[in-house]
Every structure is written in C-alpha cells, then in structure tokens.
C-alpha cells in the first residue's frame, strides 16, 4: 500500500534537511511563474518536472496517478496552483506498508 502525506515546505516553517533538493528547481519554477500559472490554472494540481508543467489535474490523487505512469517517483513535484505562500507544499510518496 502506498502512503501519501503532505507537509508545508514554506522555507520559514520547514527545516532545510526535510526539503528534497532534487525538487528545488521545480518549486523554484512554480514560484517564478506562480502569478501566470494561477491565472491559467487556479486551484488545479500541477505536475512539474524539469522546470515545466507536464500535467494539470483536478485532484492531487489524479495528478499522482497519472504522473507516476510516466515519471519515476521522486522526480516530479505535485503543486496545487494557488496564490500566496500557503500553497508551497511537497508531497512524498512511500511504498511503506501499513500494518
């Protein structure tokens, strides 16, 4: 069973050791283009990889399901497209089995 959890990745509230440095460029891309992306995709969930939007979805689960078909886990960012810093999140997907 896959376990999905989300944490706030706003730099002011998160220790740097918790942020995945491999996804820094994806989050930086979102921040740099946030205004235009929100204007176009308000409230949607974006799959961002290689500093580009690779998919736009209505739910986080749909974004994850579709992205993992094409990309290796840990190589893409799922970001809800909202304004402000509250939307800066990072989702981790684990293959840990719950008992």
pLDDT tens for the chain, 99 residues long, are 444 444 444 444 444 444 567 788 999 999 999 999 999 999 999 999 999 999 999 999 999 999 999 999 989 999 999 998 877 755 555 555 555
99 Cβ neighbours under 8 A, 6+ residues apart: none
Q: Which of 68, 90, 82 is nearest to 15 (CA)?
A: 90
Any idea where the domains of the chain sit in the sequence?
A: 1-41
Q: Read off the pTM.
A: 0.70
């Amino acid at each position: 069973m896959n376990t999905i959890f989300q944490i706030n990745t706003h730099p002011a509230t998160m220790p740097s050791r918790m942020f995945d440095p491999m996804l820094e460029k994806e989050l930086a891309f979102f921040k740099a283009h946030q205004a235009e992306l929100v204007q176009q995709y308000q409230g949607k969930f974006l799959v961002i990889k290689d500093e580009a939007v690779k998919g736009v979805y209505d739910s986080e689960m749909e974004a994850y399901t579709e992205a993992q078909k094409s990309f290796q886990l840990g190589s893409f960012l799922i970001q809800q497209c909202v304004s402000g810093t509250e939307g800066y999140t990072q989702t981790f997907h684990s293959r840990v089995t719950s008992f």
